[in-house]
Structure 1
């Protein structure tokens, strides 16, 4: 049996495959999680992820502040905007790319069914140029 553990935001930051510096929160590596990962993500103004998907894992995002635009679909042909208090669900294996077009940082809570925050990330460089 594992124990309850507290993680303080800002304790550990690392560069994720998607192109952002992210906070390593609840994950297999930090607390021994077996089925979930949750962390804070801040995207600076003008920040943009690399096109990617999470192989076999779902993602849920809750935007705390700022506005983000997420392009999604097999050719990133769909666009959805999210702002404070809104949630975004991304199905497993769905290509996507997030952009912060605004003048302020976007801060969000990100949860995924992959306990290893970076393990299921599959970069899709062939899709990067499809988003202006």
Structure 2
């Protein structure tokens, strides 16, 4: 049924706001040791065109290699645990975040994500500004904290070669 503005009111019942229950996240993403990632909002699940959101649980001491995400913006909300972020051309800057903290990663910023707790998982909500996963690995920077224990690896954070 359309009104005089051309809106189809019946369509909104099925194509409007969507609620994705926490126990209904999609684990059908690439899973690797040290990390468990689940999609909540993406194109496949809800038709999102410009955003991706989901959860990630990272094992103690897991670290990524040095990388950036191209033009994407990322927001990480720490639910539980302690996150450490290193960034800069030589990873010379560092900050930590705990439960309730937000982390913003701007486009093209070289960085390394680290679970700073050697004994407990890090649980976060991740939101990206696009559905396409972009990662550019940077191999000419020696990370201050070498990813030597458990790699934080997922479809966009690949395990460094030779490991």
TM over 0.5: same fold? yes
Equivalent positions of 1:26-105 (< 5 A) are 26-102=41-117, 103-105=119-121
For the residue of structure 2 that corresponds to 1:30, the secondary structure is helix
Say if 2:88 and 2:109, in contact at 8 Å, map to a contact too.
yes
Against the structure 1 CA distance between its residues 123 and 24, is the aligned structure 2 distance closer, same or farther, given a 3 Å change threshold?
farther
Say if 2:65 and 2:143, in contact at 8 Å, map to a contact too.
no
Against the structure 1 CA distance between its residues 58 and 35, is the aligned structure 2 distance closer, same or farther, given a 3 Å change threshold?
same
Cα RMSD, aligned residues only? 2.2
Q: C-alpha displacement at 1:31, in angstroms?
A: 2.6
Say if 1:14 and 1:24, in contact at 8 Å, map to a contact too.
no
Task: State the partner residue of 2:143.
Answer: 130
Against the structure 1 CA distance between its residues 131 and 64, is the aligned structure 2 distance closer, same or farther, given a 3 Å change threshold?
same
User: What is the CA–CA distance in structure 2 between the aligned matches of 1:20 and 1:121, rounded to whole Å?
Assistant: 17
Task: State the partner residue of 1:115.
Answer: 131
Aligned residues: 127
List runs of 5+ in structure 1 lacking aligned partners: none
Deviation per residue, 1:34-88 (Å, 9 max, x gap) = 1111110111001111221111111111100000111011221110100001111
**TM-score normalised by the chain length of structure 1:** 0.83
Say if 1:20 and 1:49, in contact at 8 Å, map to a contact too.
no
2:122 to 106, 109, 116: 106
For the residue of structure 1 that corresponds to 2:140, the secondary structure is helix
List runs of 5+ in structure 2 lacking aligned partners: 1-10, 146-163
| Bigger relative contact order, structure 1 or 2 (CA pairs below 8 A, ≥6 apart) | 1
For the residue of structure 1 that corresponds to 2:108, the secondary structure is coil
Say if 1:23 and 1:40, in contact at 8 Å, map to a contact too.
yes
Task: Answer with 1 or 2: which has the greater Rg.
Answer: 2
Compare the two structures and name the one with the higher strand fraction.
1
